[in-house]
Structure 1
Amino acid sequence: MVIWELVVNGNAKINLAIMYSLLGKFELAKQVIQLRWFLLYVALYVFAIWDSYRGTVALNQQYILADREDASIRPFVIKTSDQNFLDTRNPWLASTLSLLAPGLGHLYVNKIIPGIFFVTWTIVVMYFSHALPAVQETMIGNFDYAKRMVDMQWLMYLPSIYGFVIHDAYVAAVEINKLVDKEQSKFLRDNYQRFDFKMP
């Protein structure tokens, strides 16, 4: 999906059209957009919305079943790609790390593969957009040169990357904390609660 986004968005010039629309240059936005590619982009968005809704409903049903059956939660998992253990995480720290560098918040909450992907994707976008040299030129006062060197088609990926990773890292930390609470509650009930105790 990310490769599809990159190819279709790049060829349709959607990011440039968004930038011109935000600047109030609507005629320029209409001129820059490539309609043949844009219609493919619409199809991707419709599919993404439908698939996320369908997937969320299915996951919610699985959660309800697991919760009702009081299914066991494995507090420690070792796989070939990583090791994972349940431990509380600070959601604000996850968001702050994602703000510093997209992907660090995911690494903090042990979402290793998405974390590596977002670090890599951010490096690619920063490189092709010339964002960091533009920041350097801005800091020394070369504002016109900084504006000319930036590739806005690539730079416009950054708001969506930052918005998503900050939100996703925060939500992941919150959900992991809920899972830790459930696992600890089940462990204490199974191992330390008297069998004749009546729940109030």
Structure 2
Amino acid sequence: MNGKAKNRNNRRSLAHMSTLNVNILHFRKPWVTAWWSAAFPGFGHLLLGNHFKGAILIVWEVLINMQSHINGAMVLSIHGKYKQAALIINPRWVLLYIAVYIYAIWDSYRTTIEQNKVFTLAERENAPIIRFQMNSLAVQYLDLRSPWLAMVWSLLMPGLGQMYLHRIPTGFLLLIGWIVMAINSNFMECLLLTIESWGRIHSPMDPQWSLFMPSIYGFAAFDAYVYAVENNKLFEKAQRQWLEEEYQTLGFSIKSGAGG
């Protein structure tokens, strides 16, 4: 069977490359994606490469949470102010929140199990991996990336680690999300004032916005590190495929000339 016929008959591949993103199939632990969906609905789906569904769930989480005042009620409850928490929470929006929140956790867990099965089949099928894409807007190619460097960039500013890995949709979503949260929560003002006069915060943070930030910050670092590791595995596999296709066989022999 020639190469073209083989490419046409491949049912599953380990990766899909475009000029803006590389989506990689790899083995994941279902409880990890479910945990990230519980921390912030949509993050589990971003880990699975389902960017569109993940973005919808992230926008839903922010809008419904803001309308129902769940974050503010959580902070008041932690401080023992249960009556105040009951007063600020909006039950109509909370009832809309519950079903989708549970769905995000369940669906990410279920999808992880199914994708692990697809990954096993794709590994056995060993479809050719595309190594290079280019158009008028961007150049995309597989190469080795440092997982620690990707994580450090995400710790400095969520989204930059994904940009370093050339995952533009996820990087853009995290970067914009972090900027919106930081501005609306007064995080930057509090950080500067705390550094200037330790222990004296003149402009308190808004808990309704600030409780989103730990999840975004942690997810950005985790996702960048894991993806860099899997990107390097994919690069090495692509190199092996190329050598198997192009390198001469062990049975190749050089025949001596007539005068030898």
Please give the TM-score of this superposition, normalised by the length of structure 2: 0.68
Give the direction of change, closer, same or farther, for the CA distance of 1:140–1:12 in structure 2 (3 Å limit).
same
One-letter code aligned to 1:48: A
Give the alignment partner of residue 184 of structure 1, picking from 221, 239, 242.
239
Identity of aligned residues (%): 41
Q: CA deviation at 1:62?
A: 2.6
Q: Which has the larger radius of gyration?
A: 2
> Could you tell me which residue of structure 1 aligns to residue 89 of structure 2?
33
1:166 equivalent in alignment to 2:210: no
Give the alignment partner of residue 61 of structure 1, picking from 117, 124, 149.
117
Q: CA deviation at 1:80?
A: 6.3
Give the direction of change, closer, same or farther, for the CA distance of 1:63–1:77 in structure 2 (3 Å limit).
farther
Question: Secondary structure in 2 aligned to 1:145?
Answer: coil
Deviation sequence 1:150-184 (CA, Å, 0-9, x none): 21111111101101111111111011011011111
Deviation sequence 1:114-169 (CA, Å, 0-9, x none): 1112111111111111111122222232824132xx21111111101101111111
> Could you tell me which residue of structure 2 aligns to residue 96 of structure 1?
152
Deviation sequence 1:93-131 (CA, Å, 0-9, x none): 111110100000000111011111211111111111111
1:9 equivalent in alignment to 2:65: yes
Question: Secondary structure in 2 aligned to 1:107?
Answer: helix
One-letter code aligned to 2:209: W
Question: Secondary structure in 1 aligned to 2:166?
Answer: coil
Give the alignment partner of residue 125 of structure 1, picking from 181, 185, 192.
181
Q: CA deviation at 1:18?
A: 2.6
Partners of 1:30 and 1:193 lie apart in 2 by 73
Counterparts of 1:78-117 in structure 2, within 5 Å, are 78=134, 82-117=138-173
Aligned length: 195
Give the direction of change, closer, same or farther, for the CA distance of 1:28–1:92 in structure 2 (3 Å limit).
farther
Give the direction of change, closer, same or farther, for the CA distance of 1:122–1:190 in structure 2 (3 Å limit).
same
One-letter code aligned to 2:208: Q
Give the direction of change, closer, same or farther, for the CA distance of 1:192–1:22 in structure 2 (3 Å limit).
farther
One-letter code aligned to 2:150: A
RMSD between aligned residues: 2.2
1:143 equivalent in alignment to 2:200: yes
Q: CA deviation at 1:195?
A: 5.2
Please give the TM-score of this superposition, normalised by the length of structure 1: 0.86
Q: CA deviation at 1:55?
A: 2.6
One-letter code aligned to 1:93: L
CA contact (8 A) 2:186 2:203 kept: no
CA contact (8 A) 1:102 1:118 kept: yes
Q: Give the structure with the larger helix fraction.
A: 1
CA contact (8 A) 1:20 1:26 kept: yes
Partners of 1:178 and 1:30 lie apart in 2 by 50
CA contact (8 A) 1:135 1:146 kept: no
Question: Secondary structure in 2 aligned to 1:84?
Answer: strand
Partners of 1:27 and 1:79 lie apart in 2 by 58
Stretches of structure 2 that go unaligned for 5 or more consecutive residues are 1-56, 253-260
